[in-house]
Every structure is written in structure tokens, then in C-alpha cells.
């Protein structure tokens, strides 16, 4: 396994090529910081983009859903020789608002990963369990060990799709505004407003037992 993904015609951007990266560690780092992706697929010739959770194990991404949901049904039934579902899975983190003196040079600092490929239903019971743990732990690391695992009925109601990381690229913008030199003296504030994800105080469930303390893996969020 090399340290980089192979660029393809689809993953080489038409613009801002200096922002693109195929570095495996950079791609994994961006993927691991998030848990909500936007999954695109084609239905009756038209694009559909839905937000959904994902998990990563090595070079495999997993998404899950009800066995009755559209994209999971479209990926084929378990055990069959389905062709799979062509997807584009995109993860984006916004890091800052870039305010330039000119409207044109306003921008966003961001890190994104775009994955192209074909998603297949996972039928192996052990891979399904591992994938479902990864999905829970992607949102809250350590949580899968501190919750009741899915029972047979729940497993039967859940479809898991796998998307191998192969045709994938990251795109990153950092730094301040790129104003035109002749705009430097304009009387407009210019710079970056940092943006980040913040967590609030945990809200226990209505029927939560007060004797159960907040677990350590939540206090580090």
C-alpha cells in the first residue's frame, strides 16, 4: 500500500489544483474528524444527495441505514450478485470565513474529501458488526463498548454499505484573503473568522439514572 491515492481524471480538479491532495494520511485525517457525509447517487437519471453517518476502517468506508431506505435497497439485496450502487461520498469541514476587501476574493477555509466508487452491501456478519461499531465510534470514540450491541432483530433491519477508498482526493484551503494588490488601501476590514464545531453541556435523557456518571469519553469532546 502506497502513501498516496492514485489521481484520476475525476479527482484532478479543473481549478485550484494546488489545493488538491492525494496523501493517504491527510485524507484519513479529514475523514476521521467528521461523522456526517453527504452521499450522492443517481436515481432515475437524477442526482440525489443525502446526509448520513459514516465510519472508516482502514481503506474502507461504511454507511448504514434501514433495509427499506432507497440507496440501501438500490445497492442490492444481501447475498445477491448485485452490481452495487455508484456513489460519491463527500465530507467537508469549514475552518474559517475569509473576508477579502473585494467581494470576488471572499472565500472559505475548508478541508474536504471526495470519494468516488461503487458501494456494496456487506453480508459477512463479522464485517457488519465491526462496521456498525465503527459507525458508533466515529461519532463518539469509545461509545460502542459502552452500549448494548445490536440484537438479531436490529441487525436484520440494518443494511450496511461498504465503499472502498480508491478514487479519492482531499481539497484544502488555508490562510488569509488573497486580495488584489491595488485593493490593499481600501477601507474594509480583511482577515479570517475562525469557525469550529463546539459541544454544549450534555443533556441526560428524561429517564436517565443520576447514579450513572458522565463517562470519560464524553468529557473529552
Give, as ranges, the residues between 120 and 139 that touch a copy of itself (CB under 8 A).
132-133, 136, 139
Contact with a copy of itself (CB under 8 A): which of 24, 26, 102, 166? 102
Q: Which residues pair with 110 in a beta bridge?
A: 94, 173
Q: Which is nearer to a copy of itself, 42 or 82 (CB)?
A: 42
User: CA-CA distances (angstroms) from residue 100 to 92, 108, 187?
Assistant: 22, 11, 11
Contact with a copy of itself (CB under 8 A): which of 50, 84, 164, 166? 50
C-alpha span between 199 and 202 (Å, rounded)? 8
Give the single-character DSSP code of 45: T
Contact between 114 and 11 under an 8 Å Cβ cutoff? The reply is yes
Number of residues that bind a copy of itself (CB under 8 A): 94
Of residues 132 through 191, those in contact with a copy of itself by CB under 8 A are 132-133, 136, 139-140, 143-144, 146-151, 154, 158, 176-177, 179, 183-191
Segment near a copy of itself (CB under 8 A); pick from 22-30, 74-82, 108-116, 120-128: 108-116
C-alpha span between 82 and 85 (Å, rounded)? 9
Segment near a copy of itself (CB under 8 A); pick from 21-29, 55-63, 67-75, 120-128: 67-75
Quick check: 20 binds a copy of itself (CB under 8 A)?
Answer: no
C-alpha span between 93 and 35 (Å, rounded)? 11
Question: Three cell numbers at 75?
Answer: 445497492
Residue 220 Cβ, how far from a copy of itself at the closest point, in Å? 12
- The three-point CA angle 79-81-83 to 5° equals 125
Q: Which is nearer to a copy of itself, 2 or 185 (CB)?
A: 185
Residue 211 Cβ, how far from a copy of itself at the closest point, in Å? 9
Helix (H, G, I), strand (E, B) or coil at 82: coil
Amino acid at each position: 500500500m502506497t502513501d498516496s491515492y492514485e489521481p484520476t481524471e475525476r479527482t484532478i480538479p479543473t481549478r485550484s489544483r494546488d489545493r488538491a491532495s492525494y496523501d493517504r494520511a491527510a485524507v484519513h485525517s479529514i475523514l476521521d474528524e467528521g461523522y456526517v457525509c453527504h452521499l450522492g447517487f443517481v436515481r432515475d437519471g437524477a442526482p440525489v444527495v443525502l446526509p448520513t453517518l459514516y465510519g472508516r476502517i482502514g481503506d474502507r468506508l461504511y454507511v448504514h441505514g434501514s433495509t427499506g431506505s432507497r440507496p440501501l435497497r438500490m445497492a442490492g439485496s444481501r447475498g445477491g450478485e448485485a452490481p452495487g450502487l455508484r456513489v460519491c461520498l463527500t465530507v467537508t469541514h469549514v475552518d474559517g470565513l475569509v473576508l477579502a476587501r473585494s467581494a470576488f476574493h471572499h472565500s472559505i477555509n475548508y478541508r474536504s474529501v471526495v470519494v468516488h466508487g461503487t458501494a456494496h452491501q456487506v453480508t459477512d456478519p463479522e464485517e457488519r458488526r465491526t462496521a456498525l461499531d465503527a459507525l458508533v465510534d466515529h461519532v463518539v470514540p469509545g461509545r460502542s463498548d459502552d452500549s448494548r450491541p445490536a440484537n438479531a432483530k436490529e441487525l436484520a433491519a440494518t443494511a450496511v454499505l461498504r465503499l472502498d477508498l480508491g478514487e479519492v482526493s482531499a481539497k484544502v484551503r488555508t490562510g488569509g484573503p488573497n486580495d488584489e494588490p491595488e485593493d490593499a488601501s481600501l477601507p474594509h476590514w480583511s482577515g479570517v473568522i475562525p469557525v469550529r464545531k463546539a459541544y454544549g453541556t450534555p443533556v441526560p435523557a428524561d429517564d436517565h439514572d443520576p447514579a450513572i456518571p458522565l463517562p470519560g469519553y464524553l468529557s473529552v469532546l
